[in-house]
Chain A
Amino acid sequence: MILFDRVTKVYPNQQVALSGLNLHIQPKEFVTIVGSSGAGKSTLIKLMTREEAHTSGKIIVGGLDYDTIKPRDVPLVRRRIGVVFQDFKLLQNRRVGENVAFALEVSGAPRREIKRAVPKMLQLVGLASKEDRFPQELSGGERQRVAIARALIRQPKILIADEPTGNLDPKNAWEIIELLLKINRYGTTVLLTTHNKEIVNALKRRVITINRGKIIKDEEQGRYSLEGGK
């Protein structure tokens, strides 16, 4: 599903963000990536969504070799991967339903399909009654649910959640994590990055620890620690 083979990323300012990173994630896995700021987590995600191009090595996501994709195919790559962020990235001047519909509109989905799909997705994330609200009228947890609904509306095989709970209180944070687990049970590969120790330790899922652009630990039922070893 996701394969990184000796991937190196050097930014134009000579900063080495990833150096020879190997990573293999199977379909339907739930993987948490931890690491201190600047360890390379964000770069890893940017390479997956093709916001940045890798310097060397091989990246294959969903059967697609990133060395062979043309610039104009990049939007198609992004449509296959759902992404949510710490700051939600919602359009403030559009209603909840419109925000979710937006992801379908840009890909040219017919209006009838959008009308059918949006309420279903909002129901899945537990916001069925808030379709006509604006983002400012929602709590942080609800906003993140809208972002998740938008990321999932095109039924991607992979959902990347980059610090989705960073702006949320513990209760809301847990609700988001439970939602991600539910999505994972339905068959979507979930890639979570977080700094929240309690969440990582409670999840008891695969944990990958990154430090200085390399994977220093990869455990099937990992715990949160930023140091190598125990």
Chain B
Amino acid sequence: MIQLFRVLQAGSRNFMRNMWLSTAATAVMTITLTIVIISFISNTALTSTIKNVTDKIDISIYLKDTITAEERDDFQVALSEHPNVESVRYVSKEEALEAYKKENQNNPTLIKGLEFAGNPLPASFRVQAKDPKQIDGIVAITQRDEYRGLLDLDKQSTYQGENKETINRIVRIANFFKTAGLVASVIFVIISTLIIFNTIRMAIFTRREEIEIMKLVGATKWFIRGPFIFEAALYGIIAAVIAVVLSYALLLGGAAKLVNYIDVGSTITFFQNYPLLVIAGELFIGILIGAFSSMLAMSRYLKL
């Protein structure tokens, strides 16, 4: 117990004594761990975004508020009769409002605003195509003279054909960022391993006299190695704490701007629900990198 305490004490003292090197090593480690978190965040956020986007692959045909029940049935039948149509579902104004409220339940001001505005959402048909690539025929029905006048003019109907390009692009970009995040994480883990390796190597050289004396007075191998491992682990521990705070701040700060493009909500919720898991994960990675690189340095430069 007292041995462990002395090892930790010596490790912290070494950390303080090499303030510049320690700061540099901690800084690189902080960058690495921040990149790891951000890569993790964007991975989950992008996955959830892709899911949201692909869920929306159906044709939404928005209807005028003035449409009569008769006109509506007629239109629905005409759509259903098309051979490429799997199903046609009517979504009333009320249903649309409910769904909208549910989607935005975290935004009370928006919902309050809706109550004053009445219900601005149009009713719609949700058409599921059998073959999503062959929707021209379905689009053609909506352009017939008898139905064209029933379409809502404010809200453009969405056809999968048009969305598809966008959806594909979003998926492509999202996958690119996911891969880029992973590659960047790996590269920075390697860089910080090398830097800590070098920091500990220099620490071994500057303290070789002290190490010799420790051996002379009968210090055990782990008593000599311990402070170096702890010193390197300390870079990881400090860096992990900074990285978690930094990335959480970045996430909260960036959320307002990102929310229109990708789904960051679930990631923020994850952060808030499992803060210990996030910190523990970062500490684990940080300590692992530190301990591994210092052991590597010692196996080459600290002969006991």
Contact B216 A107 (CB under 8 A): no
Separation of A108 and B219 alpha carbons in the complex (Å): 9
Interface of B, secondary structure class, is helix
* B148 contacts the other chain (CB 8 A): no
Contact A76 B2 (CB under 8 A): no
Contact A76 B218 (CB under 8 A): yes
Separation of A99 and B64 alpha carbons in the complex (Å): 91
* B117 contacts the other chain (CB 8 A): no
Contact B218 A110 (CB under 8 A): no
Separation of A75 and B223 alpha carbons in the complex (Å): 10
Contact A110 B2 (CB under 8 A): yes
Contact with A along B214-234 (1 / 0, CB 8 A): 111111110100000000000
Separation of A56 and B217 alpha carbons in the complex (Å): 26
Question: Which residues between 47 and 83 of chain A lie within 8 Å of chain B, taking CB atoms?
Answer: 49, 51, 72, 75-79, 83
* B210 contacts the other chain (CB 8 A): yes
Chain B residues within 8 Å of A108, by CB: 2-3, 6
Separation of A168 and B102 alpha carbons in the complex (Å): 89
Separation of A205 and B216 alpha carbons in the complex (Å): 27
* B209 contacts the other chain (CB 8 A): yes
* A102 contacts the other chain (CB 8 A): yes
Separation of A76 and B214 alpha carbons in the complex (Å): 12
Contact A83 B216 (CB under 8 A): yes
Chain A residue nearest to B212 (CB atoms) is A89
Chain B residue nearest to A79 (CB atoms) is B218
Task: Known contacts A91-B210, A111-B2; decide if A102 and B218 are in contact (CB<8 Å).
Answer: no
Contact B217 A78 (CB under 8 A): yes
Chain B residues within 8 Å of A111, by CB: 2
Chain A residues within 8 Å of B219, by CB: 75, 106-107
A61 CB to closest chain B CB, in angstroms?
14
Chain A residue nearest to B224 (CB atoms) is A106
Separation of A159 and B268 alpha carbons in the complex (Å): 66
Question: Hey, which bits of chain B sit against chain A, CB under 8 A?
Answer: 2-3, 6, 209-210, 212-221, 223
Given known contacts A83-B216, A154-B218, what 15 new A-B pairs fall within 8 Å (CB)?
A72-B221, A75-B219, A77-B218, A78-B216, A79-B218, A89-B209, A89-B213, A91-B209, A103-B217, A105-B6, A106-B6, A107-B219, A108-B3, A110-B2, A150-B217
21 contacts between A and B (CB under 8 A): A72-B220, A72-B221, A75-B215, A75-B218, A78-B216, A79-B217, A79-B218, A83-B216, A89-B209, A89-B212, A89-B213, A102-B213, A102-B217, A106-B214, A106-B220, A106-B223, A107-B218, A108-B3, A109-B2, A111-B2, A150-B217
